[in-house]
């Protein structure tokens, strides 16, 4: 019997391939987790919610990237690192408890029934409100939603403290470097 | 018949019921797209969607578990170890699924607390089931693994297929533990979530269905074990060799480093290879048998599995997976098109093939044929092709107009949802969903009728074995 006709030959190949790929994935995972820890190279620390955030075209990278600017307080409050972390942790609980991801998408992941929330904080629908009004308008919308175009947002019994936490979460998330996704978001002439 | 095989039939029966629930909530979900405001604040879209996609996971899992309980005692020629515990846990599993569905229908969501995570809804796609239920799934999967491994140990022997299955059960169980964490950082949350979703669906589940289809081929057409096992090893090498780092195609846009573009793009491009191999082999087998087999529905569903897996998972997946395309296709109905076709082709067809095979043996038939299975085969496959096609048109429409031109803002998204091409696609998806549902009704009718009225089947005395 030729060796290619022996199942054990193919079994050895399957084991070797699987082990090699698993080791490579483990190494990449360690490096990736280091880079996506809050405060790391790609994911901002939670107290970024005290700053202004925009999404600008980078000629060097050839894509849109989040830009962190000067102080721009959220709900008129300057959060310490600990307060910001607790607020955003609560925001994530709001998002999970209401299963937001089963209508919306986050970084493009989720359901496709409602708009992507990756840059919701920067969306022209909300960004037209100057200064502290933007966060307040978003919080009020979450508590008492109105219909936007073809999609009625349901009332999910969101309380004021929950709404503020969710808005803080969306502001923090808008500062994550997502390799240019979504492309041309809020570019001149795009509404 | 072994007790384990009777348990396998129960799991397969429960799987058919969950398949029906998944279809019902899928059709319901499609109505929200064509009737804005449908059931808003009563039963919101996300509740219907959760039961649809979680129902998908459960019907396939039950189908896989049932298939393994059906084949393992035949493979080792002995009763499965710990069968009493497995039988008890079947009812616990069914009760848990029923409670979760009732909670998702009548409670739907809770406040921002750990209580909600434990008892109502975890709010992570595909693993929304509350933690208590997720623990239940771990227990069921653990006992299932114990049944399979313990039986091989007691028998003092194993086979190539069973060894692959045992090796696969370990990552299958370990990866599911990812259903529990509640991480604040969305980038890390999605990073690990994809380990669960991708490494289940595009790695461990592919290996699991590979084992099940290997047994199916041996029992259905008497395929050579040596050839089947060699092919299974090649499949494992190709599936895991491409699929493990193919995980990278989910890491383009979630905050992860840029090197995933190259890794995800290249390995995703290779992911269709094992699926193409299945098609080549299926065409060869089908040709050499002139499309004839005693159990014709099982044979045709096996062929459908090979083609559906290649087209739905392989071709439709590759079509949208390169980062240059994915930048615009990601998160649109294009993804839903791929998802529907892939799950059906890769797994749904395989579970139905085993159903026909198990019913042929359990009801003492010597072959199955007739008209009903042909109708269900045609309607189900026409329905899925129609849904995948309609969603593809809608997704491409979104990729161009909402993403590339509109810049993905809320206004771009909302105006896209009102465009005629998009709305027409959603209507087409709804209609083909009804076609799919009618195919399901015909499938249930046929499964119930097999062997009972000699419709297309020749009853034979049932061989008994074991306790």
**Quick one: average pLDDT of B3-27?**
98
- Based on the fold, state whether residues B220 and B163 are members of the same structural domain: no
Q: A-chain residues within 8 Å CB-CB of B335?
A: 112
pLDDT given at position B274: 79
Chain A: nearest CA to B332, how far in angstroms? Answer: 6
Q: How far apart are CA B125 and CA B110, in angstroms?
A: 16
- The C-alpha angle A102, A49, B405, rounded to 5 degrees, equals 55
pLDDT given at position B365: 87
Bridge partners (DSSP) of residue A66 are: A55
Ranges A49-53, A99-103, A151-155, B248-252: which has the least confidence: A151-155
Give B336's contacts in chain A (Cβ within 8 Å). 112
One-character DSSP codes across B22-83: HHHHHHHHHHHHHSTTTTTTTS-HHHHHHHHHHHHHHHHHHHHHHHHHHHHHHHHTSPPTTH
Q: How many Å lie between the alpha carbon of A165 and the closest alpha carbon of chain B?
A: 10
A191 vs B111, B183, B409: nearest CB: B409
In this structure, are residues A120 and B413 in contact, taking their beta carbons and an 8 Å threshold?
no
The CATH class of the A46-173 domain is mainly alpha
Residues B142 and B220 in one domain: no
pLDDT at A83: 98
Q: B137 in a domain, yes or no?
A: yes
For residue B406, the chain A residue with the least C-alpha distance is A190
pLDDT at A41 over 60: yes
Q: Which of A54-63, B224-233, B442-451 has the lowest mean pLDDT?
A: B224-233
Position B261 in a domain: no
Instruction: Identify whether the C-beta of residue A56 lies closer than 8 Å to the C-beta of residue A72.
Output: no
pTM, two decimal places: 0.94
- Quote the mean pLDDT of chain B: 92
Structure token pair of residue B440: 């399901």
Do residues B176 and B220 both lie within one domain?
A: no
B283 and B404 share a domain? yes
> Chain A interface, mutation test: which of B123, B134, B264, most A Cβ atoms within 10 Å?
B123
Instruction: Test A112 with B49 for CB contact under 8 angstroms.
Output: no
Residue B141 shares a structural domain with residue B220: no
Contacts of A150 in chain B (CB under 8 A): 36, 414, 417-418
Residue A188 pLDDT exceeds 70? no
Q: Is the peptide bond before B236 cis (omega within 30 degrees of 0)?
A: no
* pLDDT reported for residue B272: 81
pLDDT at B465: 40
Contact partners, residue A52, CB within 8 Å, separation at least 6: A68, A69, A70, A71, A72
* Residues on chain A touching B188 (C-beta within 8 angstroms): 33, 36-37
Over the stretch B159-180, which tens digit does the pLDDT of each residue have? 999 999 999 999 999 999 988 9
Look at residues B157, B182, B207 and tell me which one is the last residue of a structural domain: B182
Same domain, B385 and B304: yes
- Can you tell me the mean pLDDT for B3-13? 98
**Cβ–Cβ < 8 Å for B162, B75:** yes
Reported residue count of chain B is 467
| Predicted confidence (pLDDT) per residue in A156-179, tens digit | 999 999 999 999 999 999 999 999
Per the rule left: phi > 0, alpha: psi between -120 and 50, beta: everything else, B361 is alpha
Chain A nearest-CA distance from B38, in A, is: 9
Residues B324 and B433 in one domain: yes
| ipTM of the modeled complex | 0.96
Which residues of chain B have a CB within 8 Å of the CB of A100? 46, 123
Q: Is residue B318 part of a domain?
A: yes
Check whether residue B350 and residue B429 sit in a common domain: yes
How distant is the Cα of B46 from the closest Cα of chain A, in angstroms?
Answer: 5
CATH number for B442: 1.20.210.10
CB B326 within 8 A of CB B260: no
- Interchain contact, A154 vs B41, CB within 8 Å: yes
Based on the domain organization, do B220 and B148 belong to the same domain? no
Report yes or no: B255 and A172 within 8 Å, Cβ to Cβ.
Answer: no
**CA atoms of B388 and B367, how far apart (whole Å):** 33
Residues B130 and B220 in one domain: no
What is the tally of structural domains in chain B? 2
Q: Categorize the per-residue pLDDT at B339 as very low, low, confident or very high, splitting at 50, 70 and 90.
A: very high
Q: Residue B196 domain-assigned? A: no
Question: B465 lies in a domain?
Answer: no
Name the closest residue on chain A to residue B426, using Cα atoms.
Answer: A113
Host domain of residue B94: 1-182
How does pLDDT run across B303-332, given as a tens digit for each residue?
Answer: 999 899 899 988 999 999 999 999 999 999
- Dist. CA B181–CA B199, nearest whole Å: 17
Residue B396 and residue B293 share a domain: yes
Residue B69 has pLDDT above 60, yes or no: yes
The shortest CB-CB distance from B184 to any of A42, A92, A155 is to A92
What CA–CA distances, in Å, run from A4 to A10, A18, B160, B213, B446? 7, 19, 16, 22, 43
Mutate to test the interface with B, among A81, A98, A119, A126 (most CBs of B within 10 A): A98
Geometric angle at alpha carbon B194, from B407 and B11, rounded to 5°: 125
* Inter-chain CB proximity A149 and B415 less than 8 Å: yes
Interchain contact, A185 vs B409, CB within 8 Å: yes
Which residue does chain A place closest to B337, by CA atoms?
A112
Nearest C-alpha of chain A: how many angstroms from B409?
Answer: 6
Tell me the domain boundaries of chain A.
3-35, 46-173
Confidence at residue A168, expressed as pLDDT on a 0 to 100 scale: 98
- Could you tell me if B273 and B415 lie in one domain? yes
Express as a percent the part of chain B with pLDDT over 90: 80
Question: Are A112 and B253 in contact (CB < 8 Å)?
Answer: no
Q: Which of A107, A185, A187 sits opposite B186 (nearest CB)?
A: A107
The distance of B345 to chain A (nearest Cα, Å) reads 21
From the list B125, B328, B336, the residue facing A102 with the nearest CB is B125
């Amino acid at each position: 019997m030729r060796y290619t006709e022996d199942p054990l030959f193919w079994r050895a190949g399957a084991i070797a391939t699987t082990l090699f790929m698993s080791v490579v994935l483990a190494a990449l995972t360690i490096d990736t987790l280091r880079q996506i820890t809050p405060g790391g190279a790609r994911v901002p620390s939670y107290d970024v919610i005290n700053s202004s955030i925009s999404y600008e075209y980078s000629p060097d990278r050839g894509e849109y990237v989040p830009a962190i600017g000067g102080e721009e307080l959220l709900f008129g409050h300057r959060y310490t690192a600990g307060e910001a972390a607790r607020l955003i942790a609560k925001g994530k609980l709001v998002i999970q408890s209401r299963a937001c991801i089963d209508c919306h998408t986050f970084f493009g992941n989720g359901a496709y029934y409602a708009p992507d929330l990756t840059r919701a904080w920067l969306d022209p629908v909300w960004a037209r409100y100057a200064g502290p009004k933007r966060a307040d308008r978003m919080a009020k919308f979450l508590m008492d939603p109105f219909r936007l175009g073809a999609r009625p947002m349901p009332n999910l019994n969101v309380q004021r403290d929950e709404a503020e936490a969710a808005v803080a979460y969306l502001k923090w998330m808008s500062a994550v470097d997502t390799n240019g996704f979504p492309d041309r978001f809020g570019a001149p002439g795009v509404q | 018949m072994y007790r384990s095989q009777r348990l396998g039939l129960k799991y397969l029966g429960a799987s058919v019921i969950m398949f029906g629930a998944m279809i019902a909530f899928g059709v319901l979900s499609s109505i929200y797209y064509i009737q804005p405001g449908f059931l808003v604040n009563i039963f919101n879209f996300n509740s219907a969607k959760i039961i649809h996609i979680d129902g998908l996971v459960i019907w396939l899992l039950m189908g896989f578990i049932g298939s393994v309980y059906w084949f393992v005692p035949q493979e080792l020629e002995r009763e499965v170890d710990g069968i009493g515990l497995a039988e008890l846990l079947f009812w616990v599993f069914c009760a848990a699924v029923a409670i979760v569905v009732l909670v998702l229908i009548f409670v739907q969501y809770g406040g921002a607390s750990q209580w909600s995570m434990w008892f109502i809804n975890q709010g992570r796609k595909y693993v929304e089931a509350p933690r208590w239920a997720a623990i239940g799934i771990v227990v069921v999967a653990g006992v299932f693994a114990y049944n399979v491994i313990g039986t091989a140990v007691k028998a003092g022997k194993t086979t190539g297929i069973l060894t692959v299955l045992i090796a696969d059960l370990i990552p299958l169980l370990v990866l599911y533990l990812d259903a529990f964490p509640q991480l604040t950082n969305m980038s890390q949350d999605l990073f690990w979530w994809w380990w669960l979703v991708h490494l289940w669906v595009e790695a461990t589940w592919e290996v699991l269905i590979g084992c099940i289809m290997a047994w199916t081929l041996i029992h259905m057409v008497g395929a050579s074990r040596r050839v089947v096992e060699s092919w299974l090893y090649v499949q494992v090498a190709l599936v895991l060799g491409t699929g493990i780092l193919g995980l990278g195609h989910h890491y383009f846009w979630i905050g992860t480093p840029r090197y995933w573009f190259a890794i995800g793009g290249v390995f995703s491009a290779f992911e269709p290879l094992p699926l193409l191999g299945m098609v080549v082999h299926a065409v060869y087998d089908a040709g050499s048998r002139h499309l004839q087999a005693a159990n014709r529905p099982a044979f045709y569903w096996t062929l459908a599995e090979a083609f559906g897996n290649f087209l739905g998972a392989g071709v439709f997946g590759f079509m949208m997976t390169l980062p240059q395309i994915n930048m615009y296709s990601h998160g649109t109905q294009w993804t839903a098109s791929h998802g529907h076709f892939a799950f059906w082709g890769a797994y749904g067809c395989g579970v139905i093939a085993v159903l026909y095979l198990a019913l042929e043996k359990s009801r003492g038939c010597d072959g199955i044929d007739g008209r009903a299975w042909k109708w269900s085969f045609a309607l189900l496959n026409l329905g899925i092709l129609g849904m995948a096609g309609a969603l593809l048109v809608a997704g491409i429409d979104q990729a161009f107009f909402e993403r590339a031109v509109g810049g993905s803002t809320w206004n771009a998204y909302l105006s896209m949802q009102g465009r005629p091409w998009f709305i027409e696609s959603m209507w087409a998806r709804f209609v083909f969903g009804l076609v799919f549902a009618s195919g399901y009704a015909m499938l249930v009718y046929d499964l119930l009728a097999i062997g009972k009225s000699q419709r297309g089947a020749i009853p034979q005395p049932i061989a008994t074995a074991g306790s």
